[in-house]
Amino acid sequence: MKRLLMAVLLAFAGLVSLTARAEVLVLVHGYLAGAHSWDASGVTAALQQSGWQRAGVFVGGPGGIQLVPAPGMQAERKFYAADLPSEAPVLLQVYQFDQMLDRIVRTHPGEPVIIAGHSAGGVVARTALVRGNHDAVTTLVTIASPHLGTSRAEQVLDATDIPFPLSMVTDFFGGEVYDTAMRSRSLFVDLVRPQPGTLLYWLNVQHHPDIQYVSVVRGSTEAGWGDYIVPAYSQDMNNIPALRGRSSVINVPERHGLTPLDGGVLVNLLADIS
């Protein structure tokens, strides 16, 4: 009887392993961040503790993208991190991210792909899905992303729009922060609040893929305050004209940056999706 019971249990275990669905998670960082931000915040530690394995980091550059592989590429549940030029305009980042997604799909054919994007990375990921043919993607999770823009981008543009010769004084005394803002002006133009002629005005009325959308909204939702960087209404994809009523919403009372709590949120979401 014990042998028969053991045989049944082993057969059931084999059936479960055969029917388990392999999945790929892709992490997209935000402004002035990189693939390392998911590690530094504790998000990847939470993923690994729940059984997700590191598959590698995609690094974008002038010569194209490169993959720095990790041992988890053959795991059932694995995650990649994208490393994009975070000061560059959205469409330039999208160009590199498209290549990364294509490489992932070729490496893992038939496996569903889930994207999690933080801050501007969520806008980059959503733009890539709207512009490209990424049928393998089943879910987009955005964390504190400015889908309807942010007045902070407009403030930076105002602060760096100084005519010559006054700009020479600002260049001299502004320091590294001012230099970074100047390099990022094209990105901030993409992240202003939607109005005719802006990227978000165009993006938010385009057809979006029929996939699952999850908005992780930072800070207080009262009066739409959100966090210090992005108001709550802008983080909620339900407020995008093309996505009304299509996004689940999770409110996380944290600041704008990634925290270990985001790891727990992602782990729970991924468990529900699976």
Length of the chain: 274
What would the DSSP string read from start to end of 48-113?
HHTT-EEEEEEEEETTEEEEEE-GGGGSSEEEEEEE--TTS-HHHHHHHHHHHHHHHHHHSTT--E
Q: Is the backbone of residue 245 left (phi > 0), alpha (psi -120 to 50) or beta?
A: left
Tokens of residue 83, six digits? 């490393």
> Which domains, from first to last, does the chain contain?
22-149+197-273 (3.40.50.1820)
Q: Which of 257, 119, 91 is nearest to 190 (CA)?
A: 91
Q: How is residue 163 written in tokens?
A: 């005519």
What's the pTM value of the predicted model, to 2 decimals? 0.88
Burial of residue 200 (number of CB atoms within 10 Å: 0-12, 13-18, 19+)? buried
Number of CB atoms found within 10 A of residue 53's CB: 16
Judged by DSSP in three states, 129 sits in: helix
Query: DSSP class of residue 194?
Result: P
pLDDT, position 222: 58
CA distance 29 to 199: 19
- Report helix, strand or coil for 6: helix
Please list the pLDDT of the chain residue by residue as tens digits (274 residues).
434 333 332 333 333 333 346 899 999 999 999 999 999 999 999 999 999 999 999 998 777 899 999 999 999 999 999 999 999 999 999 999 999 999 999 999 999 999 999 999 999 999 999 998 899 999 999 999 999 999 999 999 999 986 544 444 345 445 688 889 999 999 999 999 999 999 999 999 999 999 999 999 998 655 557 799 999 999 999 999 999 999 999 999 999 999 999 999 999 999 998 6
What local confidence, expressed as pLDDT, does residue 264 receive? 96
pLDDT score of 208: 98
Q: What is the pLDDT of residue 220?
A: 67
